[in-house]
Amino acid sequence: MPKKFITYLLLFFIPVVLGYAVMEYLTLNLPSGYKKNSALLKAKAETIEVLVLGSSQMKDAVNAALLKQPAINLASGDQHHNTDFKLLQGVLPKLPNLKTVVLEVSYSHFELPHNSKDFWKHPVYLKYYGVNCFERNTYFKDRLIYLSLPPFYSEKIYDHYIERKDPAGFNSFGFDTLNYSGLFMNLKYNEDEIAKKRFKINLTPQPEIFATNTSLFFDFLDYLKERDLKVIICTAPMYKSYLPVRVPEILARRDSILQLVSNKYSNIEFLLYEEDTLGFKVKDYWNQSHLNPDGAQKFTQLLQKKLDSLN
Amino acid sequence: MLFNSFDFGFFLVIVYFAYWGIGTKRRKAQNLLLLVASYVFYGSWDWRFLFLLMASSLVDYVAGRILERSEKVSLRKLILWTSIFWNLGVLVIFKYFNFFISSFYELFSIENTQQTYTFWNVIIPLGLSFYTFQTMSYTIDVYRKKIRPTYNLLEFLCYVSFFPQLVAGPIERANKLLPQFEKERSFNLQRTKEGLRQILWGLFKKILVADKLGLAVTMVFSNPEGYGALMLIFAAVLFCFQVYCDFSGYTDIAIGTAKLFGFSLSKNFDLPYLSKSISELWQRWHITLTNWFTDYVYAPIVKSVTPVTASMRVIGVLLTLFLIGLWHGANWTFVVFGIFNGIVIVVERAPLFKQKGTLLKGLQRIPRVLSLAYVFVMFTISGILFRAENISEAWLILKRIFTITPDVAISSLIGIKLLYLLALLIAEMATRKWEFPLQKLEIRIPKPIRWAIYYLLIILLIRYAEPKEAFIYFQF
């Protein structure tokens, strides 16, 4: 192989590598709740008593800064129970004072497929929480954040560095206190307009997935019980137009599992606010299934009461 | 280790430099490296199936050697049928067992409420349909004395497991690929550049077109009841392009990768959407599979009666297309897909009117836009059969299309994806005399623009890469 060809290759790929390095650098410097959580884990892990897990609904519903107990919220978008379980197992050795774990069981939690082993957030968990969710050895590329989902981060980079329209106000607990500008705010909280909007909701009953998911969920609960950890199972509030669209079959199966859990485990409490249309008003929502920081404040207060009742 | 992953890129770089680092004079060492690399590549999915790959290779290697030595007709037939029985047996056991069992019971309306029959919980080994066909063709060709068997086990193992084409073809014949392992390969800068360009083009097709179209297609096909005729047609048309870009993109990467190691693989696609008939389309779509079935299924059926009769041709076409459909997967949708195409081909070739003109000849004469429209309608219908989860879903989609069910809302889910598709079609049609649009680019475009094109493609590939999607044809 001629040296000229190797030189040619190097010359060609050096700009590619440099370009990538710039994107990675920009990504790492984006404001991010993961970074705040990472710092919190490093600084105060030994004091943390409450760990919140779940999907974006829980991420947006619990502002850990408002809790009296030292707490951390590791919930994030598309994060399913299998990832919650791995995260818990990964961070548990760092949390010697952990007393309570807050889990989410949303309307269709048991009938949505678990995150695959290629879930794009695995590099994020590895980078910021030091938890290997890959179920294999990790390599250098597994720590590259931009590469984990380039379309997502490219948009974030564009919004933050070029458009400057990303007013993220993450507090030191990784909660975005400025997270208001969603669908509802864009519609000026006009309930007639909101009622006309379609939204994402699972309408397909999936009994096979239900069987797999519930099996893992019970393993998860057994694991927590064996470690004498208290558990609070939550459902975050949903806006009123979300509720009637839910499929009764999916709902009934979910509720039957919650009933089973209630009968079987003595260490578990419930905080079920999915159908609370009185306490949570339109201005508490970001969209049909997510709270904004005002709604989060209310829900966190409810969580605080539940935590107080445990002691 | 998908072709569109960094793992594969890293693997390829290591194997590539090790391969040429060994030196062109040490062919055996190069072959050994390729074999090890191929087994590592295959084992990265599931190492247990390596034993099956090795066993299949050994059965046909031994069969070839015995056939070479023996002139006794009965023994030769016994060896041939042993090889065929083994290869088809492996396919049936791993790929079709559950399908046959469930279909049998459904046929006789036996419900499984009492668990009277059980399914075999087994995953299908990757690339099984591809490499078993490759090994089978070797033994059949040796039996027919078209080729001489190899006495070099290493070269034969390399032929069966060559990693660029192991899991999804092209399905290579021994007379083309095996001799390439038997002779010295020299480093060729031009061929290397062509290989890299073809890989880049394949990645463009896969990541920027197929995967993007796939998002829209999946959204509609996962909930066909939620969409009207227009969106369903749109999704079905997009699926035809998705599957084309997915598989031909894979093929480009496979051929390009083989070029890096000094090998030449067969062409598998020849702009099939420019065909004037479904008969022609099957000569330009998955060419190596069509050729395989033509040589080893269609021709023997037709020639089984002399003189060749029209009815045998019809039987030959229908049976061949039925088997091609079944080859794609253990599902009635694929069977109906095959039969549908078979019927269309038979109709195209059937003599019409008293002048004995055929639809096929008529399609050659009419304006191109009409023949293209005809092919696209037929291909889209078979695409629905190909993509649907089951027959009832396919039927539901076709019913909603043909009863012109109105759309509640036209989704804007397509967006920029269509631009990529448009760019691809323009590029492929404008360069249709070339093997792929980026071929011999240095003749046509000055270096700065050429490099700008490469960088633009790389930026787009990185920028728009979604989480890794497997190639559609890997499931076969």
Instruction: State pLDDT tens for residues B336-361.
Output: 999 999 999 988 888 765 566 787 77
Every domain of chain B and the residues it spans: 7-187, 191-463
pLDDT over 80 at A78, yes or no: yes
Of B10, B451, B465, the CB nearest to A150: B465
Confidence of residue A138 (pLDDT cuts 50, 70, 90): confident
Please tell me the predicted confidence (pLDDT) of residue B443. Answer: 85
Is B21 in CB contact (< 8 Å) with chain A? yes
Distance of CA A160 to CAs A31, A155, A164, A165, A170, Å?
9, 8, 5, 6, 14
Tell me the pLDDT tens digit for each residue of B185-221: 888 888 999 999 999 999 999 888 888 888 888 888 8
Contacts of A12 in chain B (CB under 8 A): 451, 454
To the nearest whole percent, how much of chain A has pLDDT over 70?
99
Higher pLDDT residue, B5 or B201?
B201
Every domain of chain A and the residues it spans: 48-115+168-310
| B466·A151 Cβ contact <8 A | yes
What is the pTM for the complete model shown? 0.81
Contacts of B336 (CB under 8 A, 6+ apart): B325, B385, B391, B394
The DSSP string of A66-124 is G-SS-EEE---TT--HHHHHHHHHHHGGG-TT--EEEEE--TTGGGSPPPPTT-TTHHH
Confidence of residue B264 (pLDDT cuts 50, 70, 90): very high
Q: Smallest CA–CA separation between A4 and chain B, in Å?
A: 10
- With CA atoms as reference, the chain B residue closest to A147 would be B462
pLDDT over 70 at A262, yes or no: yes
Confidence of residue A202 (pLDDT cuts 50, 70, 90): confident
Confidence of residue A43 (pLDDT cuts 50, 70, 90): very high
Contacts of B189 in chain A (CB under 8 A): 2, 5
Confidence of residue B436 (pLDDT cuts 50, 70, 90): confident
Please tell me the predicted confidence (pLDDT) of residue B112. Answer: 54
Query: Hey, of A118, A140, A142, which one would you mutate to test binding to chain B, going by the most B CBs within 10 A of its CB?
Result: A118
Tell me the pLDDT tens digit for each residue of B244-259: 999 999 999 999 999 9
Calpha distance A101→B376 (Å, rounded): 56
Q: Smallest CA–CA separation between B195 and chain A, in Å?
A: 13
Contacts of B223 in chain A (CB under 8 A): 203-204
To the nearest whole percent, how much of chain B has pLDDT over 70?
91
Contacts of B26 in chain A (CB under 8 A): none
| A149·B458 Cβ contact <8 A | no
Q: Smallest CA–CA separation between B463 and chain A, in Å?
A: 5
Q: Which of A108, A29, A40 is nearest to A74 (CA)?
A: A40
Q: Which of B247, B307, B262, B207 is nearest to B4 (CA)?
A: B207
Between B153-161 and B174-182, two packed helices, what is the crossing angle to 10 degrees? 130
Of A12, A15, A150, the CB nearest to B463: A150
The answer, yes or no, to whether ipTM is higher than 0.85 is no
Is B11 in CB contact (< 8 Å) with chain A? no
B363-371: average pLDDT: 84
Calpha distance B356→B363 (Å, rounded): 14
Tell me the pLDDT tens digit for each residue of B7-42: 888 899 999 999 998 887 888 999 999 999 999 999
Least confident of A13-17, B385-389, B470-474: B470-474
Contacts of B464 in chain A (CB under 8 A): 150-151
User: Can you tell me whether residue B352 is helix, strand or coil?
Assistant: strand
Please tell me the predicted confidence (pLDDT) of residue A1. Answer: 67
Tell me the pLDDT tens digit for each residue of B406-421: 776 555 555 666 777 8
pLDDT over 60 at B295, yes or no: yes
Q: Smallest CA–CA separation between A151 and chain B, in Å?
A: 5
Please tell me the predicted confidence (pLDDT) of residue A85. Answer: 96
Confidence of residue B463 (pLDDT cuts 50, 70, 90): confident
Q: Which residues of A290-301 are buried (b: 16+ CB within 10 A; e: fewer)?
A: bbbbebbebbbe
Least confident of B96-110, B197-211, B280-294, B324-338: B96-110
Both tokens assigned to B8: 């594969």
Both tokens assigned to A277: 């249309």
Tell me the pLDDT tens digit for each residue of B79-101: 999 999 999 998 888 877 777 77
Distance of CA A235 to CAs A70, A185, A277, A278, Å?
22, 23, 13, 15
Q: Smallest CA–CA separation between A204 and chain B, in Å?
A: 9
Calpha distance B324→B321 (Å, rounded): 5
* Assigned CATH topology for domain A48-115+168-310: Rossmann fold (3.40.50)
- With CA atoms as reference, the chain B residue closest to A155 would be B463
Q: Which of A59, A68, A63, A73 is nearest to A101 (CA)?
A: A73
Contacts of B462 in chain A (CB under 8 A): 20, 23, 147, 150
Is B6 in CB contact (< 8 Å) with chain A? yes
| A150·B462 Cβ contact <8 A | yes
Tell me the pLDDT tens digit for each residue of B125-163: 888 889 999 999 999 999 999 999 999 999 999 999 999
Q: Which residues pair with A268 in a beta bridge?
A: A231
CB distance B438 to B133 below 8 Å: no
Calpha distance A27→A21 (Å, rounded): 10
Least confident of A23-27, B382-386, B406-410: B406-410
Please tell me the predicted confidence (pLDDT) of residue B416. Answer: 63
Both tokens assigned to B58: 């050994």
pLDDT over 80 at A124, yes or no: yes
Please tell me the predicted confidence (pLDDT) of residue B111. Answer: 59
Radius of gyration of chain A (CA): 21
Calpha distance B260→B265 (Å, rounded): 11
| B467·A149 Cβ contact <8 A | yes
pLDDT over 90 at A142, yes or no: no
Please tell me the predicted confidence (pLDDT) of residue B177. Answer: 93
| A154·B463 Cβ contact <8 A | yes
Is B451 in CB contact (< 8 Å) with chain A? yes
B391-417: average pLDDT: 76
B106-126: average pLDDT: 63
pLDDT over 80 at B472, yes or no: no
Calpha distance B255→B287 (Å, rounded): 14
Confidence of residue B178 (pLDDT cuts 50, 70, 90): very high
Q: Smallest CA–CA separation between A60 and chain B, in Å?
A: 25
Of B187, B454, B458, the CB nearest to A1: B187
The DSSP string of B73-106 is HHHHHHHHHHHHHHHHHHHIIIIIHHHHHHHHHH
Both tokens assigned to B310: 């029209």
Q: Which of A148, A136, A122 is nearest to B44 (CA)?
A: A136
Mean pLDDT of chain B: 86
CB distance B279 to B346 below 8 Å: no
Please tell me the predicted confidence (pLDDT) of residue A190. Answer: 93
pLDDT over 80 at A2, yes or no: no
CB distance B281 to B275 below 8 Å: yes
| B462·A20 Cβ contact <8 A | yes
B388-405: average pLDDT: 86
Q: Which residues of B433-460 are buried (b: 16+ CB within 10 A; e: fewer)?
A: eeebbbbebeeeeeeeeeeebbeebbeb
Contacts of B455 in chain A (CB under 8 A): 15-16
- With CA atoms as reference, the chain A residue closest to B189 would be A5
- With CA atoms as reference, the chain B residue closest to A119 would be B467
The DSSP string of B305-324 is SSS--HHHHHHHHHHHHHHH
Contacts of A118 in chain B (CB under 8 A): 467-468
Tell me the pLDDT tens digit for each residue of B43-82: 988 888 899 999 999 999 999 999 988 888 889 999 999 9
Least confident of A56-70, A126-140, B108-122, B374-388: B108-122
A284-288: average pLDDT: 94
